[in-house]
Amino acid sequence: MIGRFASNIAALRGWRRAGVAFLAGAVAALAMAPFDIFPALAISFPVAIWLLDGIAFGAPDEPGPSLLRSLWGAARLGWWYGFGFFLAGLWWIGNAFLVDADQFAWLLPFAVLLLPAGLAFFMSAAFALARLAWSRGTARVLAFAAAIFATEWLRGHIFTGFPWNLFGYALAAEIHLAQSLSIFGIYGLTLLALVLFATPVALVRRGGWRWPMLSLAVLAAMAGFGAWRLDQYPARFVDKVQLRIMQPDVPQDAKFNPSMRNQIMTQYLALSRQPTPDGVDGMAKITHLIWPESAFPFLVAQDEDALKALGDLVAPDAVLLTGAGRAEENLDDGTWRFFNSLHVIDATGTIIGNYDKVHLVPFGEYLPYQSFLESMGLQQLTEQRGGFTSGPGLRTLEIPNAPPVGVLICYEAIFPGEAYDPANRPGWLLNVTNDAWFGMTPGPYQHFVEVRARSIEEGLPLVRAGNDGISAVIDPVGRIVASLPLGVSGVLDSRLPEGLPPTVFVKAGDAIIAILFLLATIGAISGFWSEQKRT
């Protein structure tokens, strides 16, 4: 039965082949948050491989040299598969263009379609690359996995990088399987997922059940390792540190409106002072109050009244860590540069620490070729003329009465291996974010899974403050100590978990990933050459 199904898939041509590739890619998106149906990959990947079989071994569709025909067909097939995956997984980005609908709504169809269409070229290149080492045996699973891994790695690094919804996140959502991030990181987990969930293609052959069973055994071993690691590292907490995260759930169209200044400040201050369940003053025992990204519709560093109110809010030995816009005058020409920043503010209302976001969002916080595109009337979603300026680099902040902290502002948390300054390892990570752009869509849930993955990779607790959620305190093995769901207003009180020593991934992650990729590539090429010799 499976063999007949595989043969029918391989025999498809024209629009039917493209349509099935698109649907197979869309099915793969079900493995991502908030659905987290990771077995969907065990359907999607085999269908993609059988479609590639039809390209490699079926009747030619077009005239010309057979290898070129086959490579072109594989590239087209990969594009349709990628388009289905990225469209189904990223459609929610269009919600950001409805915040200021009168100005940006006309761009919505372009954003929803063009970004997936562009990202699909990475998958197009992967399918063509896999075709170069394609064989009829199980080794083609390794060709498929190695080729997609290579282009996924490129997607995460070139053109500023966009490592969103890497296939490894299908496993990272389950906390036991996610512990393997501490060894392999998300890229290594991506390669493992590609291999493990592609092995059902072997079921069409006699005795082929051994390969899927081996995959199940590997997944079971990963889960066993995860259970052991979770047991080895029970939650422990830093003495005398009491956190309060304020999640205001301010609508995005109000958040950047200067006329809402007083209303927003009143809401923030009232929420932050909210009493504990036993009726105690909410700020009485708080040592570190945390507010989300871009908390103010004004430049708080230039507003003495606001700074005084913030200083009065916290206790004498406490501090406020808050996202904020920051402006800096260029003394050479009198122009101003604007930064997406985090301020550390003490009880005197003084800014005693600062971090400027390094990895800005293209088209959100800046425009590529900014001057040219602004001359055509375009601007980024934040509507900051000239865009934001990137900070000088990752920094570990020293803050009073707590371990040093590595700051990740929103989008920065999706980049594996770039969570903090490697020369100055912090004791915890802080992610301030504003996912209100995307409403109650899959986007914020996907972002949260990726943020939690950084904690497990690095062996560091992570505290997250979101304007509309998901705010959370996460321990260094990925357990959620406390959280506030998406779309609610409130405060979250928690102690700060202790960090762990550097993980295997921190010490040798790049080498491990390179070895896995090399082994997969050698296996794919060996299978290809063995088949060539037989024929």
Residues taking part in catalysis: 293, 357, 410
CA distance 525 to 142: 9
39, exposed or middle or buried, with CB in 10 Å at 0-12, 13-18, 19+? exposed
**What whole-number distance in Å separates Cα of residue 406 and Cα of residue 358?**
12
- Look at residues 449, 430, 442 and name the one whose alpha carbon lies nearest to residue 177: 449
Q: Please list, residue by residue across 189-223, b when 16 or more beta carbons sit within 10 angstroms of its beta carbon and e when fewer do.
A: bbbbbbbbbbbbbbbbeeebeebbeebeeebeebb
How much helix, strand and coil, in percent to the nearest 5, is found in the chain? 50, 15, 35
Q: Give the separation between CA 367 and CA 20, rounded to whole angstroms.
A: 36
DSSP string, 201-230: GGGGSTTTTHHHHHHHHHHHHHHHHHHHHH
What is the rounded distance in angstroms from the CA atom of residue 107 to the CA atom of residue 523? 45
Distance separating alpha carbons of residues 294 and 342, to the nearest angstrom: 8
SS3 331: coil
H or E, element range at 397: strand 396-397
Dist. CA 277–CA 142, nearest whole Å: 55
Separation CA 385–CA 368 (nearest Å): 13
- The DSSP call for residue 437 is G
How far is 471 from 456, CA to CA, in rounded Å?
17
How far is residue 398's CA from residue 251's CA, in Å, rounded to a whole number? 32
Compute CA distances 501 → 233, 354, 430, whole Å.
Answer: 11, 26, 18
319-329 vs 428-433, strand pairing mode: unpaired
Other C-beta atoms within 10 Å of 277: how many? 6
- 412 CB-side CA count, 13 A: 31
Query: Cβ(339)–Cβ(388) under 8 Å?
Result: yes
Show the tokens assigned to 376.
């055509």
Q: Are 410 and 434 in contact (CB under 8 A)?
A: yes
Rounded Cα distance, 119 and 313, in Å: 46
| Contact status, residue 79 vs residue 121, Cβ threshold 8 Å | yes
